[in-house]
């Protein structure tokens, strides 16, 4: 999911997307935190769809289908701890 002003763009694994009038913060509060992670101010990801993590200052997550999502520096340690499981 990606924030877009006061809307959220939801990307599906079949290359379709939906624009919702709810904010990303609303989805973050609504969805289970053991499955969804706010890796960046603009992105909430489904942890089950991570293909790989690419190291960097914050790094990037490859979600497949050509979707690369940035991990903020502030969230990097928390994210890496989640990956350890």
Architecture in CATH for domain 2-84: Beta Barrel (2.40)
The pLDDT assigned to 57 comes to 94
Say whether pLDDT at 75 is over 80.
yes
Q: What is the mean pLDDT of residues 63-84?
A: 93
The pLDDT assigned to 51 comes to 95
* pLDDT confidence bin for 84, thresholds 50/70/90: confident
Q: What contacts 24+ positions apart, CB below 8 Å, involve 38-42?
A: 38/75, 39/69, 39/70, 39/71, 39/72, 39/75, 39/79, 40/69, 40/70, 40/71, 40/72, 40/75, 41/3, 41/72, 42/2, 42/3
């Amino acid at each position: 999911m990606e924030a877009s002003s006061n809307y959220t763009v939801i990307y599906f694994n079949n290359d379709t997307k939906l624009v919702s009038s709810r904010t990303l913060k609303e989805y973050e509060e609504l969805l289970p935190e053991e499955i969804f992670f706010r890796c960046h101010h603009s992105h909430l990801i489904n942890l089950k769809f991570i293909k790989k993590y690419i190291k960097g200052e914050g790094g990037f997550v490859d979600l497949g289908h050509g979707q690369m999502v940035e991990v903020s520096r502030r969230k990097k340690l928390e994210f890496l701890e989640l990956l350890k499981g």
